[in-house]
Amino acid sequence: MRTFVIAGAMALGLASLPLTAADAGSTWRVGIHTSRTQTVSGQRALITGHVRPGAAAAGRTVKLQEKAATGTTWHTEATDRLSKRGAYRFAARPVSGRTHSYRVVMPATDAHAKGVSRTISVEVFAWQNLDDTTSVNNSGMNFGSVNINGTTYADSVASGWVSSPSSIEFNLDHDCTELRATFGISDGSTTGGQAEVSVQADGSPAYSKTFDLGQSESDTLFFSTAPLKIRLEAHNTSTTDGIYGYGAFGSPQVLCSR
């Protein structure tokens, strides 16, 4: 009887000790889903899921973690309190144009070891100035501010030649899907001047239009396949001797995931 009492007391004492993560009976199971695998800078990507067992997880806090790039460490972006069913919801708004990696972490408790979801990736596209990308094969194009129809456009590309077409290529490395700009003719052209401006994506025509002095249009070009290169061309199409038109691309930008 005495031995039994001592053994029971010992068992009771051991049972009252808190369990460590290593001793826990099970690991939290963390599911994860995203509303989109591609998005534009600043737009919301919903990250949702459940922690199981849900009843035990209810009311506890989970962490949304992000990794900036391969080789970097995870850092906590936000936390959320789990619902009665163990559900969570995060609204991520990544800004930089690149692929963002996310995971959700459920911290360890006395009864469950830490749970970590699988890693999901969200490819983020952001607008950047075209002249910040690598340019090659420049034939008569100038960089800087340009006036088009009375408006000044910074970070622009404009023709500097009148005797032959001007052109330049930009290496986009299959990372960019759209180009936006104000297309037109530089106010530095002669009165009555005319110019054609065009864009090619890997050799295929993407845009072409002829403008008289004082004309312009803003447009966004969508590439069905992200091109390796785009080529800008400007051609003086004035028909009167001594009258020149300098084609211009006002503040061109590309939507890229890098």
Q: Which domains does the chain have, with CATH numbers?
A: 20-124 (2.60.40.730), 133-256 (2.60.120.1060)
Q: Give buried/exposed letters for 171-197 (b at 16+ CB in 10 A, else e).
A: ebebbbbbbbbbbbbbbbbbeebbbbb
Count the neighbouring beta carbons within 10 Å of the beta carbon of residue 166: 24
Which candidate, 183, 197, 191, 182, places its Cα nearest to that of 236? 197
Strand partners, 208: 198
> What confidence tens digit (pLDDT) does each residue in 3-48 have?
333 333 333 333 333 444 444 469 999 999 999 999 999 899 999 9
pLDDT at 233 (0 to 100)? 98
pLDDT at 25 (0 to 100)? 61
pLDDT at 21 (0 to 100)? 40
For residue 117, give the DSSP letter: P
> What confidence tens digit (pLDDT) does each residue in 108-164 have?
999 999 999 999 999 999 999 999 999 999 999 999 999 999 999 999 999 999 888
Q: Look at phi and psi of residue 49 and say left if phi exceeds 0, alpha if psi is from -120 to 50, else beta.
A: left
- pLDDT band of 221, cuts 50, 70, 90: very high
pTM here is: 0.77
